Structure 1
Amino acid sequence: MARKLVVAIDGPAGAGKSTVAQLAAKELGYTYIDTGAMYRAVAWKAIKAGRPVTDEQILAAVSDIAVRLHYDGKVTQVFVDDEEVTGEIRTPEVSAVVSQVARLGPVREKMVEQQRHMAEAGGVLMDGRDIATHVLPSADVKIFLTASLEERAKRRWKEMREKGYDMTLEELEADIMRRDKADSEREISPLVQAADAELLDTTGMDIAAVVRAIVERCGR
């Protein structure tokens, strides 16, 4: 029986990490861990305390948060303090503050501790912004997944339209640019391609082709 690997996938906002990582994990028979959802869960809890969201609200939210991920065979369900928030954490309101949440040291410490614990047994595919560089630097397979800004904005626009949100392509491009800047310039664990990670540019590729490319890299 082949050893179960630890697979780390990083990449910017809108690169399609969650979609393809989930499908690749299913094909490999691995557990999929969506670290972005964990930071979104903290953002969602902070927003509940009232707008505008302050660092103090975020730190209060993370101090006693319990985030749980459960894959039901179709999607990864997200629970915050035993309340299912799978849909609620994907709103534009949460997207607008998630970079602010992720740059705070105490938030990252708590989430990283949970993420490393989840990966201990192997057979895990984890995606996020700093998995290969910080969370799981000893991962067996490291992939940096990206696409052009235009392609990422189009994918996110389609996703938002399907969910009933009325946002323009221009608004989404500006939002992704802002998140790219915030994620790559933050002091703690910025978004960068790990030196030993393989670049996978998915511009022009369909979902099936990207999943195939990830699975192939895990089989080498």
Structure 2
Amino acid sequence: MKKIVIAIDGYSACGKSSTAKQVAAQLNYAYIDTGAMYRAVTYYFLQHFINPTNPRGVEDALKKIGIEFHYNAKTGANETYLNGLNVEKEIRGMAVSERVSEVSALPRVRHCMVELQRKMGKKKGLVMDGRDIGTTVFPDAELKIFMTADFDERAARRQRELLDKNQLVALEAIRDNLAKRDRIDTTRAESPLRKAEDAYVIDTTHTTMDEQVNMILHMAREIINQEEFQNKG
């Protein structure tokens, strides 16, 4: 069967990662959470006191960072490994959330991660979510999705996610964090968050996870069938 690249972009807490994981599982595709990659870099910077405003320090740190994803049979999900250590739990905390947009806005960090992401997608059969997948990483992706949701709903979802991880964070702090990340993500000079011209918009405010997944699967299968038909012709 013909394999394609599915690029899913959008704001924080819109359900990108959860949706992308399920789409990948249904199609038997690889799934790459690029947000986790930037979180892993941020976590490394915090652990090693790397100053983002020091170009030489950033460059030296990036040479020491290795990021991989390994499948966890118990959870049924890929988990993030930083230099051989599982950091999936650590990178999801508020300490990393507070700094990840700042770190991911650095041109050298983005160049390094985009290069790695493109290597991961060479064989296609891939679902990748992030902020600039359809615009920068895979501008030729066969299917591009841009996800959005009401701001208050996003904040409530993020609070529930943190509670599921036994992290109690005030809703106002989460709102402030999301607003800050939105501002940085959409205004940074390097690969800002924006909808690709040929991306389909999915507003997840009032849709269920199953509805989101099914919408993308329907579009993906239509593209796959069309390309297979054209190849036969």
Do the two structures share a fold, i.e. TM-score over 0.5? Answer: yes
In structure 2, the partner of 1:64 is 64
2:71 aligned partner, one-letter code: Y
| Structure 1: 5+ residue stretches without partners | none
Q: What is the percent sequence identity of the aligned residues?
A: 39
Runs in 1 of length 4+ with deviation above 3 angstroms? Answer: 57-60
Q: TM-score, normalised by structure 2?
A: 0.90
5 Å-filtered alignment, 1:17-166, equals: 17-50=16-49, 53-56=51-54, 58-73=58-73, 74-166=76-168
Q: How many residues align?
A: 218
1:82 aligned partner, one-letter code: G
Question: In the alignment, is residue 180 of structure 1 matched against residue 182 of structure 2?
Answer: yes
Shift in Å, 1:166: 1.6
Question: In the alignment, is residue 203 of structure 1 matched against residue 201 of structure 2?
Answer: no
Counterpart Cα distance in 1 of 2:59 and 2:181: 20
Shift in Å, 1:50: 3.2
CA deviations over 1:105-129 (Å, ceiling 9, x no partner): 1111111111001111010000000
Counterpart Cα distance in 1 of 2:81 and 2:90: 10
Contact 2:10–2:193 at 8 Å: present in 1 too? yes
Counterpart Cα distance in 1 of 2:85 and 2:53: 23
Shift in Å, 1:64: 2.1
SS of the equivalent of 2:169 reads: coil
Shift in Å, 1:58: 4.3
Contact 1:43–1:58 at 8 Å: present in 2 too? no
Contact 1:32–1:71 at 8 Å: present in 2 too? no
* Bigger Rg over Cα: 2
CA deviations over 1:11-70 (Å, ceiling 9, x no partner): 01111111111111001110000000000000010010238x543354443232111112
Shift in Å, 1:217: 1.5
Counterpart Cα distance in 2 of 1:150 and 1:61: 36
Shift in Å, 1:170: 1.8
Contact 2:52–2:103 at 8 Å: present in 1 too? no
Counterpart Cα distance in 1 of 2:27 and 2:53: 39
Counterpart Cα distance in 2 of 1:54 and 1:24: 35
Shift in Å, 1:212: 1.1
| Structure 2: 5+ residue stretches without partners | 223-233
Counterpart Cα distance in 2 of 1:94 and 1:55: 17
Q: Please tell me the root mean square deviation across aligned C-alpha atoms, in Å.
A: 1.3
Counterpart Cα distance in 2 of 1:198 and 1:118: 23
